[in-house]
Amino acid sequence: MLNTLTNYFKSDTYSLIVSNNKLYINNYIKIISVKSDEVIIDVKDKRIFILGRDFILKKMDKLELFIVGIIHKVEINER
C-alpha cells in the first residue's frame, strides 16, 4: 500500500477538483498567473484557465494548489 501511495504522489498525473467555489489542483507544474478574476496553471501537457472573481490563493506548495472564489468557467487546453 505504501508503494501505491508513493507512486501516486510521484506520478505526473494531475487532479482537478472544483466544488462550491473551491478549486484544488494536485501535481501542477507551473503557475502562470493568479489574479482576482483569472488563474492560469500548467499541468503535464495541458494549460488550465479558471475564470471568475474574488479568487484567493489559500494554499500553495510544491504539489498542491487550493484557491477559493466565485468560479464561472474552467477550461483545459492542450499546450
pLDDT at position 4: 61
Say whether pTM exceeds 0.85: no
Q: Where are the domains of the chain?
A: 2-78
pLDDT at position 1: 64
CATH 2.60.40.2000 given to domain 2-78 = yes
pLDDT at position 7: 59
Q: Is 40 exposed, middle or buried (0-12, 13-18, 19+ CB in 10 A)?
A: middle
Mind listing the pLDDT tens digit of every residue in the chain (79 residues)? 666 655 555 667 899 999 989 999 999 999 999 999 999 999 999 999 999 999 999 999 988 999 999 999 999 999 8
pLDDT at position 79: 85
